[in-house]
Amino acid sequence: MPMQALRRAISNHPGRFVLGWLMVAVAVVSLAPDLTRLAAEGQARLVPDDAESAQARAAIREVWPDQWYQSAAVLLLHRPGGLTEADLAFTAKLENTVSESPNRPAPLIRVVGPTAPTEVADRLLSRDRSLQLLLFPLSTSFVAPANQEAVAWLQAQVVPLTPPQGLELTWSGDAVIGRAYMHDVQVSLDRAALATLGLLMIVLMIVYRSPWLAAIPLLTIGTGLLISRGVLAWMSQAGWEISPLVELFLIVILFGCGTDFCLFLSWRFAEHWPNDDPAAAMRQTLRSAFEPIATSAGTVIVGLSLMGTTRFKLFSSTGPSVALGLAITLLACLSLTPSLLVILARWRPQAFNWLSREKSGLWDRVARTVMSRPGRAWLATLGLMIPLAFLGTRTHFVQDMLSEMPPRTPAREAIALIARKFSPGAAAPLSIVLRAKSDLRGSEGMALIDDLSRLLNRQKQLAEVRSATQPLGSTEPLAPARLANRLGQVNDGFVQMENGAETLREGLIQGAAKLRTALQLRKATGIDLTAPPAEAGGA
């Protein structure tokens, strides 16, 4: 009877179980890697590998390894009245400082600024010459911890340099936004944890009326949470996918479900406890409470695990991880919580006075009322839930990282400035990758690229289209080489030939008319009007 032996061990030796759980928690916290850091990297792997965008990104990296980059930091140098020569010189100095630094971080691929080829450098200066961009392509994901360190290094290079008076320097780009985003995520997690602990403590004090008894669920769930975070961090290093939502869901689900499990055990223990043998009362409590608690937890674990069947990795990498954390917390609730209750009953039995008091019978009356009119109770419950469900169907979720950040975030404001000075697409360009069996550098391939570029150029939603046939976004440089223009030139030649032939014909007609008139005059007067003036005068 393994379960019976386990119940007896927990009841008779509670100190060993408490010590064992605490030792495991301390070891996991001390040795496990940082789950927050690992979960941040999962933010960049939310799209499946077979998605079009992921395949296009892989193709770009394969074909253009020297031009490819995964994220970028952008330094904005802005002067509302227009950049001065001193501003431009400072930009070149900053670019040279970063490029020639011997301590450049590994993710930094290159620096793109005023010293780049003219065609590229001109694109980094706004048309009104009030905003200059310095681009720092990086080889790591925009939320990767290595990226955050690279951005911090870049920002440190600017600090010793004194910009000209009035020149505004602002950092942006997806790497900087990712850094700010993950900072906001961590702040949100910390606040959620504090709010959860505070509200939960208030509820537990109202229910238990004893701080010692209220501390047991917090200690149990906290232990389960710490161990779950460590186990998931190790699994992540081994290849398990972790999303940034895992920590938030762990806090919500573990504290929500764990509190219910601990509350159920506490009430059942208080009902069975005769004040003289806590161990026997706990064995009886575990015998009656194991099945309902395990069934309740199992239902939630199965539901969370089914999230792993979705294609969107934000959900598929969150559900199973939280299910694992709930399973660990369930073990803590069925072993650590009973052990703590037995120890508390032996050390401070008055803590259970409120739970063991005579019941008022309120909930018994509520139960009898509901069961006597089940149909009305069901309809009343639906009446309360349907309006809330209707509001839920009217809620629209938008996966927009910028909108989730505080409005006054400097990186977010910088993106808006780039959109105003250049174009909205300059802040987040859309790339289209063409694959063909033939060489796209041939005449047919270039014609295909040109046709697609001009087709996209007609779309009103697109501000500019750049491609191999129009690298600067304009269709004019290759206009003379296009077949339509060539045929037009040939047609113009034929028109000119036709106009020339018509002019010659009209000239011949006019000449013939004049000659006919001259012959008629000669015949009538005897004067030859076609002869040269000298001969006419001699005659």
Q: For every one of its 539 residues, what pLDDT tens digit does the chain have, with 9 covering 90 and above?
A: 577 888 888 888 899 999 999 999 999 999 998 887 777 666 656 666 777 877 888 888 888 877 788 888 999 999 998 999 999 999 989 988 888 888 888 889 889 988 888 878 888 888 888 999 999 999 887 877 788 888 999 999 888 888 899 999 999 888 888 888 778 877 887 888 788 888 888 888 888 888 888 889 999 999 999 999 999 999 988 888 888 778 888 988 998 899 999 989 988 888 877 667 888 888 888 888 888 999 999 999 999 999 888 877 777 888 899 999 999 999 999 999 999 999 998 888 888 877 766 666 777 888 888 889 889 999 999 999 999 888 888 777 666 667 777 777 888 788 888 888 887 777 677 888 888 887 888 878 888 888 888 888 888 777 788 888 887 777 666 666 666 676 666 777 777 777 777 777 777 787 777 777 766 666 666 655 555 555 444 43
* CA dist., res. 255 & res. 326, Å (int): 10
CB contact set of 354 (below 8 Å; sequence gap of 6+)? 208, 209, 210
CB 36, CB 189: distance < 8 Å: yes
* CA dist., res. 179 & res. 144, Å (int): 8
- Per the structure block, which two tokens stand in for 407? 């409005």
**Helical H runs in 209-238?**
211-237
CB contact set of 314 (below 8 Å; sequence gap of 6+)? 46, 243, 245
Question: What pLDDT score does 464 carry?
Answer: 80
pTM more than 0.75: no
- Per the structure block, which two tokens stand in for 405? 């950040």
Question: What pLDDT score does 441 carry?
Answer: 81
Question: Which one-letter DSSP state was computed for residue 112?
Answer: B
How many of the other CB atoms lie within 10 Å of CB of 399? Answer: 9
* CA dist., res. 222 & res. 208, Å (int): 19
CB 107, CB 146: distance < 8 Å: yes
β-strand 131-138 against 168-172: which pairing, if any? Answer: unpaired
- Per the structure block, which two tokens stand in for 476? 């004019």
* CA dist., res. 199 & res. 243, Å (int): 26
Question: What pLDDT score does 496 carry?
Answer: 77
Question: What pLDDT score does 347 carry?
Answer: 86
CA atoms within 13 A on the CB side of 248: 15
95: three-class secondary structure by DSSP: helix
CA atoms within 13 A on the CB side of 270: 18
